[in-house]
Amino acid sequence: MAKNIKWFGHAGFQITSEKEKIIIVDPWLTDNPLATCQAEDITKADVVLVTHDHFDHIADVARIVKATGATLVGMPETVGTLKEGEKIPDSQIVYGMGMNIGGTATFDGISITMTQAFHSSQTASPAGYIIRLEDDFTIYHAGDTGIFSSMKLLGELFHINLAMLPIGGVFTMDPSQASLAAKLLGVSTVIPMHFKTFPILEQDASSFKEIMDKEAPDIEVVVLDPGQEYVF
């Protein structure tokens, strides 16, 4: 099966590996104005990653984890709140208690490393994830974050192929900052995210694409519509 990435809208993605392992990141489908499916439509998932506890990233995490039997990955305090409030068993939480920045977990040949992000969160700290698939293709979901110079170190350390970067501004990087982040990371492909959902955010990816075409023409920009898949 061809590897693919499906954008749910906002910061939510479904990554399917060539061995048909499914990784869900930041699922917010219920009441998401851009979502083309609902949480109950997701019937298969192996791992669910949560970057932080804002509603637009965590709203459907517990529902999907319990419905699919997936393993939940997140900060100890964040997954602890879900564990207590949503009755998620230890057996469905990575290491039984969550993990922290710098930590790595492996699932059937897929490694997932938690990275820093610069944002806010009521429980623990916000995070991003480096996802290395079975064939070593490596994906970076930045989470909600501003730009930071050690993105260059992440690129050097993990040799990232594809990055999902927020471009919406106000709460995260804007198009200009995200374009520099892509160059720091040294990736081949970028999928913009965290735009259009709310009126206050950047409403489309045209500005980001224009900057990237001018300043980093060797990096492919893949702009998805909610529900659309990118096959790689």
Residue 45 carries which side chain, given as an amino acid letter? A
In the chain, what are the domain boundaries? 4-231
Q: Is the pTM of this model over 0.75?
A: yes
Alpha helices in 108-196 (DSSP H): 151-158, 175-185
Instruction: Give the CATH fold of the 4-231 domain.
Output: Metallo-beta-lactamase; Chain A (3.60.15)
Give CA separation, 194 vs 20, 65, 99, 157, 226, in Å.
Answer: 26, 23, 24, 25, 11
DSSP state of 140: E
Question: Averaged over 158-173, what is the pLDDT?
Answer: 98
In angstroms, the CA 133 to CA 138 distance is: 6
Q: CB-based contacts of 21: which residues, under 8 Å, 6+ apart?
A: 46, 47, 107, 108, 110, 134
Could you read off the pLDDT of 7-52 as tens digits, one per residue? Answer: 999 999 999 999 999 999 999 999 999 999 999 999 999 999 999 9
Could you read off the pLDDT of 132-165 as tens digits, one per residue? Answer: 999 999 999 999 999 999 999 999 999 999 999 9
- Give the pLDDT confidence score for residue 2 in this predicted structure: 81
Question: Averaged over 192-208, what is the pLDDT?
Answer: 98
Structure tokens at 199: 């009126």
